[in-house]
Structure 1
Amino acid sequence: MAEAAEDTVRRGRGRPPRLSREQIVRSAAELAVREPEVALTVKRVAEAVGSAPMALYRYFPDRDDLLQAVADRVMADAQHKDLPGGTWQERLRAWMHDSRDYLLPYRQLLPYMAATQQPARVSSLVTLTRLLRPLRLAEDDLALAVTLIGSTVIGHAVYETHRGPVSAHKLDALSEALARYPQEEREAVAPLLPRLPGAQNRLYDVVVDRTIAAIEALAAR
């Protein structure tokens, strides 16, 4: 009780507790997941931490700097658990799926993750280097492999969140647009339209398989 009273006096009565950069970043990350469809603005983050927007500018020059810091924190916090599977291909496939699933809730931060600062990537680099070590790749090829894997995961997450599912409304719009083309082209494309949702669901598996095949080719050289 005495400590609480002393702390109140030290801060000044009625003044909010001092913010920290870490507190702001973590609150913004939680907000990004909780309301993914609403723009993550400085004003909304300030409200989440019980402060005024101007107070946040003491820690971040602008919104881009704030979102970059949040993206870096999310990537640095990624937990790379033990990967299932006996072969490196099985373990890499599991890692790529787990990583994509971890990133997808942070749709507003994905462009910033693609530009993330190097320290935020260390956890992934350690995991991937350990996973690919049995291949005995040359250092240049190993660097290429981990870069390929990381860019594939983030790139596809960006694609999925910005493209969205192929809904019935989108299929109707495609059908209407296709009606303006010559009959031969309509007949060739029309059977594909109802199959697009299934193709989109299968796409990441194909992307992962192609990534693994590219690494296998590096190892075979």
Structure 2
Amino acid sequence: MPKASPERSRGRPAKLSRDQILSCALKMIQRSPGQKITMTGVAKALNTAPMSLYTHVRHRDDLMDGIADRVMGQLKLDIDTSADWETQVRQWLTRSYAHLSAYPQIVSLLPQADRIPPSWLHVHAPLVATLKREGLSGQALAHASQWVAHQLIGALILGFARSRSDRAGEEVSSMLGQLDADESEIFAEIAPFVLPDYELFPYTVEQVINALRSTLKRA
């Protein structure tokens, strides 16, 4: 009769895995979207020594890439390829924005040329495919799809960097006294209509559509 496996010693930490480490780090982001994720912080949350993580995660960049894979993998774009291209681009922008708004730590990786998570390409691919079906190719396709992605990422980063206050117009009005008469007159006109960054995104989407219309006409 085979011997029973010895029970894990009382107090001995459970064996770590890469999956366990990534799950813990992702939960930390979801609980506190603004906090910086570090190997030490994840180790503390797992009640283990930081060095024990390096068996499964090579370094912090590897950790963040792993989290990015999960975050991007959870993004359900479900682009309706039977719809017109404008609808498809709107779906890509609005669904990407809604999902990634919860993950500032991951979005911050995207502007770094040498740190773009490979999983971002899976998210970017449907946008490229939509524009390709409309006749763009080569350099024109690369530049157009890259520019659209920049509008998304830029809007997200500005939204993270600034307060989510609904008093953007009031804040502009409060600074009018610091301007000269001509500048004050200019900003007094627009202050009532200034929106918080997160409310401006639908406008951004429509400007992207307008710009793409012009590009596609020339294609």
TM-score, normalised via structure 1 length: 0.78
Which one is further off, 170-179 or 90-99? Answer: 170-179
Post-superposition Cα deviations, 1:173-203, rounded to whole Å, max 9, x if no partner, equal 54444313333432332343332236x4553
Structure 2 equivalent of residue 149 of structure 1: 148
Structure 2 equivalent of residue 94 of structure 1: 91
**Residue 176 of structure 2 corresponds to residue 178 of structure 1:** yes
Mind listing any 5+ residue stretches in structure 1 that lack a counterpart?
none
Q: Distance in 2 between matches of 1:192 and 1:7?
A: 73
TM-aligned CA distance change 1:202 to 1:66, over 3 Å: same
Q: Distance in 2 between matches of 1:220 and 1:176?
A: 44
What SS does structure 1 have at the residue aligned with 2:178? coil
Q: Distance in 2 between matches of 1:31 and 1:104?
A: 15
Q: Distance in 1 between matches of 2:135 and 2:122?
A: 20
Displacement after TM superposition at 1:89 (Å): 0.3
What is the letter of the counterpart of residue 66 of structure 1? L
Displacement after TM superposition at 1:32 (Å): 0.5
Out of 89, 101, 115, the position equivalent to 1:104 is 101
Out of 199, 210, 217, the position equivalent to 1:213 is 210
Structure 2 equivalent of residue 158 of structure 1: 157
**Residue 5 of structure 2 corresponds to residue 6 of structure 1:** yes
Q: Distance in 1 between matches of 2:126 and 2:57?
A: 31
What is the letter of the counterpart of residue 148 of structure 1? W
Contact 2:169–2:193 (Cα < 8 Å) also in 1: no
TM-aligned CA distance change 1:113 to 1:7, over 3 Å: farther
What is the letter of the counterpart of residue 106 of structure 1? Y
Q: Distance in 2 between matches of 1:167 and 1:213?
A: 27
Mind listing any 5+ residue stretches in structure 2 that lack a counterpart?
none
Structure 2 equivalent of residue 79 of structure 1: 76
Q: Distance in 2 between matches of 1:181 and 1:133?
A: 47
Contact 1:67–1:109 (Cα < 8 Å) also in 2: yes
Q: Distance in 2 between matches of 1:130 and 1:47?
A: 43
Structure 2 equivalent of residue 196 of structure 1: 194
TM-aligned CA distance change 1:162 to 1:141, over 3 Å: same
Displacement after TM superposition at 1:60 (Å): 4.2
Q: Distance in 1 between matches of 2:105 and 2:124?
A: 23
Q: Distance in 2 between matches of 1:83 and 1:57?
A: 42
What SS does structure 2 have at the residue aligned with 1:114? coil
Which one is further off, 92-101 or 20-29? Answer: 20-29
Q: Whose helix fraction is larger, Structure 1's or Structure 2's?
A: 1
Displacement after TM superposition at 1:84 (Å): 8.3
Q: Distance in 2 between matches of 1:35 and 1:202?
A: 22
Out of 109, 114, 117, the position equivalent to 2:111 is 114
Q: Distance in 1 between matches of 2:135 and 2:6?
A: 58
Contact 1:76–1:120 (Cα < 8 Å) also in 2: yes
Contact 1:72–1:113 (Cα < 8 Å) also in 2: no
Out of 30, 33, 37, the position equivalent to 1:40 is 37
TM-aligned CA distance change 1:26 to 1:134, over 3 Å: same
TM-aligned CA distance change 1:202 to 1:195, over 3 Å: same
